[in-house]
Structure 1
Amino acid sequence: MKKFRTVYHTINTHRIIPGKTVRFAVLADLHGLEFGPGNEWLIQKIQECSPDAVLVSGDVIVRNCTDTFDTAAELLTRLAESYPVFYALGNHEYKLYTADPGENGLAEEYLKYEERLKKVGVRILHNQCELLEAEGCPFTVYGLEIPLIYYKKPKSPMLQTEEIQQLIGKPDQDRVNLLLAHNPKYGNAYFEWGADLIFSGHYHGGIVRFGRNKGILSPQFQLFPPYCCGAFHRKNQHMYVSAGLGEHTIPVRIHNPRELLIVDYRGREEK
């Protein structure tokens, strides 16, 4: 029986009214898994946490398995009935999204999957942004899609801040900027771009984990990858890398439980 744990993080900030909290539920790397029939256990836990929004940082499906499209669509449809759902693509989705539907039947099925989600209100962010207002705080949610060369195994080029700006523009200085960016390898560029909150996945916790932030291997076969899992901070900027809810390619987890992230953005008094 598949199990997951719920991991909580809290950010104290002066950008929200003191005493108010905005809560985000973060899903990453589900890869078509189910926790209970119809993902009922996962949905129930999210409902218990009462988030203001659900953030999806990619790889909810497996690109060569259309059964996972239905599993993911049913889950996100249920969640969209109660919460704003923002969805940035991982490499599994992006490979199908950029393929030629005329030459790839799976790509055609994937586009139907996206249309199904859009009809129920899921905000799929193709290098786009959407606005969110919660507890009197203005947020902008960006979904970053990077070219597939940045997922190349075993080596990929470094992503520059200027390239991120070309894809999604510059962050809005008058709002809290949330960046959904599947691949955490480029955490330095995400910080330098100016995101206030960054949500990633992709590494599946490093396969074998030593402590909260250290794992052995990334899906790109990088040993001891930085930004492997957990929370990373630069002054008032915060990055959260989920160990994910599923796995793919290397279906192994050692000291590395599946997880749902809950992140609270909590108002504090100015010093």
Structure 2
Amino acid sequence: MIMKVILTVLVLAILYILYKYETQHIETTEYTIFNEKIPKEFNDFKIVQVSDLHNKVFDKNNNKTLIDKIESLNPDVIFITGDLVDGENKNFQIALDLIDNLVKKYEVYHIIGNHEQKSLIKKYKHLYRDYFKELYSKKIINMENESVRIYKGDSYINLYGLIIPLECYPYFFANNKKLELRDSFVQDKLGKINENEYNMLLAHTPFFFEKYVKWGADLVLAGHVHGGIIRIPFIGGVLSPNREFFPKYDWGKYEKGSSTMVLNKGLGGSKVLIRLNCKPEVVRITLKSN
């Protein structure tokens, strides 16, 4: 009996540590991207990527811990790669407050993730109506199958935002099957790119990296996988939202041909809220012209 009590206390203590430490301490990861197509005016241009907040609260002071972490990275722009909110959680004010804080100092570019896309499902529509009304009234640049040029002087780099259909997101706790994208999907949505210019793509899911490469993206920023939730040293992430163990893409920098993808571990979680060796993350990317 005493041994059972000790084991129970030990398990509860471990779970508490996993929740309080692994989920509450934000890491920063920095990458440097070299490409001869980056204009010299964009040398040392700093992008901070935020992803998969899922209504996460890091402190009782309007997420000041997260804001301070972002500010410490001295970004030129901020890219948000989806899932600021959690699909069935009505507390959208956390995401809206974060946007309010960020747009005071920075240009913020944003795409929606699969959780925001649940607004397309009839039974969830009423939850999102007010959220999107408020979100789109704010001073952010929403990149829903759209493109913009980011200028410094007369030079620019191109930014695209791609929305992957909700049917392409299978879940552990659902009966849906993954729908594959047709080869022409990205170009059909975003058009043909100028391969002589530097082209960045915001895409919530990394699992279509090959499609992004074929289209011609130089730099892809993605999230969705939460780093695999549990990370085993020298092996990688264990769990994927795509109902698979040890996913091909879980976290970090991937390269294929002349394209690079940065995959963010994200900040919060959905359904599975623990993290092990997989702390929340904010990413800074520094561009370098050759």
TM over 0.5: yes
Question: Segments of 4+ in structure 1 off by > 6 A?
Answer: none
- Measured after TM superposition, the shift of residue 235 of structure 1 is 4.0
Structure 1: which amino acid aligns with 2:87? R
Structure 2: which amino acid aligns with 1:94? Q
- Measured after TM superposition, the shift of residue 181 of structure 1 is 0.5
> TM-score, normalization: structure 1?
0.89
- Structure 1 CA distance, aligned partners of 2:179 and 2:42? 44
Change (3 A) 1:11 1:136: farther
- Structure 2 CA distance, aligned partners of 1:164 and 1:62? 26
Matches within 5 A, 1:56-71: 56-67=80-91, 69-71=92-94
Could you say what secondary structure the match of 2:239 adopts? Answer: coil
Q: Which stretch shows the higher mean deviation, 11-20 or 237-246?
A: 11-20
Quote the RMSD (CA, aligned, Å).
2.1
Quick one: which of 38, 45, 54 aligns to 1:31? 54
Quick one: which of 133, 145, 170 aligns to 1:127? 145
Q: Deviations over 1:40-81 (max 9, x none)?
A: 1211122121111100000010122221x2111111121112
Quick one: which of 167, 171, 183 aligns to 1:161? 183
User: Do residues 75 (structure 1) and 98 (structure 2) align?
Assistant: yes
Q: Which stretch shows the higher mean deviation, 133-142 or 191-200?
A: 133-142
Change (3 A) 1:134 1:233: farther
Q: Which stretch shows the higher mean deviation, 154-163 or 51-60?
A: 154-163
Quick one: which of 88, 92, 114 aligns to 2:111? 88
- Structure 1 CA distance, aligned partners of 2:286 and 2:105? 18
Change (3 A) 1:8 1:34: same
Specify the alignment match of 2:255 in structure 1. Answer: 233
User: Do residues 54 (structure 1) and 78 (structure 2) align?
Assistant: yes
User: Do residues 112 (structure 1) and 133 (structure 2) align?
Assistant: yes
- Percent identical among aligned pairs is 29
- Measured after TM superposition, the shift of residue 173 of structure 1 is 2.7
Q: Deviations over 1:103-156 (max 9, x none)?
A: 831131232232333xxx201111111221147641221111111110023641
Q: Deviations over 1:144-197 (max 9, x none)?
A: 111111002364132233011112222233432111111111111111111111
Q: From the CA coordinates, give the structure whose radius of gyration is larger.
A: 2
Q: Is the 8 A contact 2:170 2:243 kept in 1?
A: no
- Structure 1 CA distance, aligned partners of 2:289 and 2:209? 25
Q: Which stretch shows the higher mean deviation, 16-25 or 37-46?
A: 16-25
Specify the alignment match of 1:176 in structure 2. Answer: 198
Could you say what secondary structure the match of 1:202 adopts? Answer: coil
- Structure 2 CA distance, aligned partners of 1:33 and 1:182? 18
- Structure 1 CA distance, aligned partners of 2:244 and 2:42? 42
- Structure 2 CA distance, aligned partners of 1:137 and 1:115? 28
Structure 2: which amino acid aligns with 1:25? V
Change (3 A) 1:213 1:243: farther
Q: Is the 8 A contact 1:208 1:217 kept in 2?
A: yes
Q: Is the 8 A contact 2:42 2:287 kept in 1?
A: no
Could you say what secondary structure the match of 1:75 adopts? Answer: helix
Change (3 A) 1:177 1:250: same
- Structure 1 CA distance, aligned partners of 2:250 and 2:33? 20
Quick one: which of 47, 67, 70 aligns to 1:43? 67
Structure 2: which amino acid aligns with 1:142? Y
Structure 2: which amino acid aligns with 1:129? S
Question: Which structure 1 segments of 5+ residues have no match?
Answer: none
Q: Is the 8 A contact 1:187 1:227 kept in 2?
A: no
User: Do residues 142 (structure 1) and 166 (structure 2) align?
Assistant: no
Q: Is the 8 A contact 1:58 1:87 kept in 2?
A: yes
Specify the alignment match of 2:3 in structure 1. Answer: none
- Structure 1 CA distance, aligned partners of 2:55 and 2:284? 20
Q: Is the 8 A contact 2:26 2:267 kept in 1?
A: yes
Q: Is the 8 A contact 1:94 1:145 kept in 2?
A: no
Structure 1: which amino acid aligns with 2:64? E
Specify the alignment match of 2:268 in structure 1. Answer: 246
